[in-house]
Amino acid sequence: MVRFRYTGDMSGTVEAKRSMRRAIKAVLAAISPETREEWSERAFLALSVLPEYRKADIVLAFLSMDEEIDTGFLIESVLAQGRSVYAPRIEGADIGFHRIESMDGAREKGAFGIREPGAASPRFDPDSETGNILVLVPGLAFDRTGFRLGRGKGYYDRFLASIGGLGAFRAGFGFSAQIVDSVPHDERDVRLDAVVTEEGVFRA
């Protein structure tokens, strides 16, 4: 089991985030493909018993990068249940979520080499969607108060802030190796409602 404990300087938020990103990327790179697959399946099992997952009509998921937790099985399972799944596309300085019908329908690669749904697929519209919404949020690091460390572009924080009035349940989804004592944060960082890993769920 890979464990990480950040011991760097927390006094400067920007530098602290930069340092933590380097450290966590190294941790993720050290996880073998076999372990990544096993932990991803266990994390999905932990997610599957979460009440907010069970009652979600709409799931805003993410399409994994190579070293991230694998969301493929999760997405296929949600689709098989007849629920709507949306995944992000980079659209200028922000992200928009577009509907996917299968993992085969998300083969385009965006600006950072991340798979994206096609631009022509239906776009998630927060002003017209009804039902319970679950947002699965990627990250490099998470802490138990609900703060997350992203990759530095601010896409998810801006998106989460923009849908704050929808009552969506926001869950970080990653490995226990990405849990740290405290994520450096400022007023622009949006706190999550829970974090799900292969070791279970904890609520912020």
61-89 confidence digits (pLDDT tens): 999 988 999 999 999 999 999 999 999 99
Average pLDDT of the chain, as a whole number: 89
**Nearest-angstrom CA–CA distance, 54 and 51:** 5
pLDDT at 45 over 90: yes
Spell out the residues 6+ positions from residue 55 whose beta carbon is closer than 8 angstroms to its own.
132
pLDDT at 112 over 70: no
Strands 58-60 and 133-137: parallel
Q: What is the mean pLDDT of residues 154-170?
A: 91
Q: What is the mean pLDDT of residues 103-130?
A: 79
pTM of the model: 0.89
The percentage of residues in the chain with a pLDDT greater than 90, rounded to a whole number, is 66
CATH number for the domain running over 13-203: 3.40.50.10420
Q: Scanning the structure block, which residue is given the tokens 């706190």?
A: 191
Strand partners, 40: none
Listed range (2-11, 106-115, 148-157) with the worst mean pLDDT: 2-11
Q: What is the pLDDT of residue 6?
A: 43
Listed range (21-35, 90-104, 188-202) with the worst mean pLDDT: 90-104
pLDDT at 186 over 90: no
Strands 148-149 and 169-173: unpaired
Please provide residue 124's backbone torsions phi and psi, each rounded to the nearest 5 degrees.
-65, 125
pLDDT at 93 over 90: no
Listed range (89-93, 103-107, 171-175) with the worst mean pLDDT: 103-107
